[in-house]
Amino acid sequence: MPHPDLALPRLIAHRGLSARAPENTLAAVRAAHDAGITWVELDVQLLGDETPVIWHDRDLKRCSDGRGRLADLTLAQIQHLDAGGWFDPAFAGEPMATLEEMLVLLDSLGMGANLELKVNRGHAPEALAERVVPQVLDALPPERRLLSSFDAMALAHSRRFAPAEALALGVLFDRVPRDWEPHCRAIGAFSVHAKWKRLSEARARAIKGAGLTLVCYTANDPASFAPRWNWGVDAVISDDPTRFAP
């Protein structure tokens, strides 16, 4: 399977450097960069008006001073939210980032992004791919972009915009199932993203043996995680990857 010339670093910051800054914000990406981390994982989903934004939850409650479901909101309605004060008063006033704003920052910092496509209730996976993939293709070069999803349809629709050699796609699993390989082949996947505590050594070695990149999420204890490196794991997504640094 041809792939872009993409070598993931071993350490990827989950939702930006979310241990030290409010998750999925521009501040969290700057914090990752300042800590010497070159790649971030970020969640992307659509507002009700189909604006792609960087956000994990279906609603505003946990990570902002607002209320409501993203599927019911427009860009105008999220523009004055405080998405930082809940984490620490030092980040008060940090906005919810649009995908467009985030891509500008990532490119200005020369960073790579694993953008996780979150299909929100009320939206079809096609709409998410249509709104996100062309923007990402325009903003970041092939070696600094990787789209992943738990949603097979979101990945299949993403593939329509670029071939495997131009766009790396990652299949997200909780526990990697016995029949993982057809799912990956069907979309010309670059990588498998596995929940680290539920990954077996045999499955890890099979994924590597099939020529795919293997990413584990979300690990925060380097000592417990350590044996996985010998299984061939290529990269770890962590809230604080600086803990893993040699």
Residues taking part in catalysis = 14, 56
Q: Is 41 in the site for ligand G3P (CB under 6 A)?
A: yes
- b/e string for 176-211 if b means 16 or more Cβ within 10 A? beeebbebbeebbbbbbbbebeebeeebbebbbeee
Q: Give SS3 for 31.
A: helix
Q: Which residue is nearest to ligand G3P (CB)?
A: 217
Options 6, 30, 38, 43; binder of Mg ion; rule CB under 5 A = 43
Site size with ligand G3P, rule: CB under 6 A: 11
Q: Is 116 in the site for ligand G3P (CB under 6 A)?
A: yes
The 58-87 site mask, x for binding Mg ion (CB under 5 A), equals: ------------------------------
Question: Is 117 in a helix, a strand, or coil?
Answer: strand
Residue among 9 and 163 whose Cβ is closer to ligand G3P: 9
Picked from Mg ion, ligand G3P, none, the partner binding residue 97 (CB below 5 to 8 A depending on kind) is none
- Compute how many other C-beta atoms are within 10 angstroms of the C-beta atom of residue 105: 16
Q: 227 by DSSP, 3-state: which? A: helix
C-alpha distance from residue 47 to each of 59, 100, 110 (Å)? 10, 13, 27
**Residue 203 interacts with ligand G3P (CB under 6 A)?**
no
For ligand G3P, the closer CB: 73 or 219: 219
Interatomic CA distance for residues 7 and 117, integer angstroms: 21
Query: Among ligand G3P, Mg ion, none, what does residue 126 contact (CB within 5–8 Å per kind)?
Result: none
Interacting partner of 193 out of ligand G3P, Mg ion, none (Cβ under 5 to 8 A depending on kind): ligand G3P
217 is a contact residue toward ligand G3P (CB under 6 A): yes
56 near ligand G3P (CB under 6 A): yes
Closest approach, Cβ 148 to ligand G3P, in A, equals 6
Q: Is 57 in the site for Mg ion (CB under 5 A)?
A: no
Phi, psi of 159 (to 5 degrees): -60, -25
Residue 24, CB-side half-sphere exposure with 13 Å CA sphere: 22
Residue 149, CA distances (Å) to 156, 169, 182, 232 in order? 10, 8, 16, 22
- Interaction between residue 94 and Mg ion (CB under 5 A): no
237 binds, among ligand G3P, Mg ion, none (CB under 5 to 8 A by kind): ligand G3P
Residue 8 is classified by DSSP as: -
Tokens of 246: 């040699």
Distance CA 210, CA 224 (A): 26
Residue 57 binds ligand G3P, judged by CB under 6 A: no
Nearest approach, Cβ of 121 to ligand G3P (angstroms)?
15
Residues found near ligand G3P in the complex (CB under 6 A) = 14, 41, 43, 56, 116, 148, 172, 193, 217-218, 237
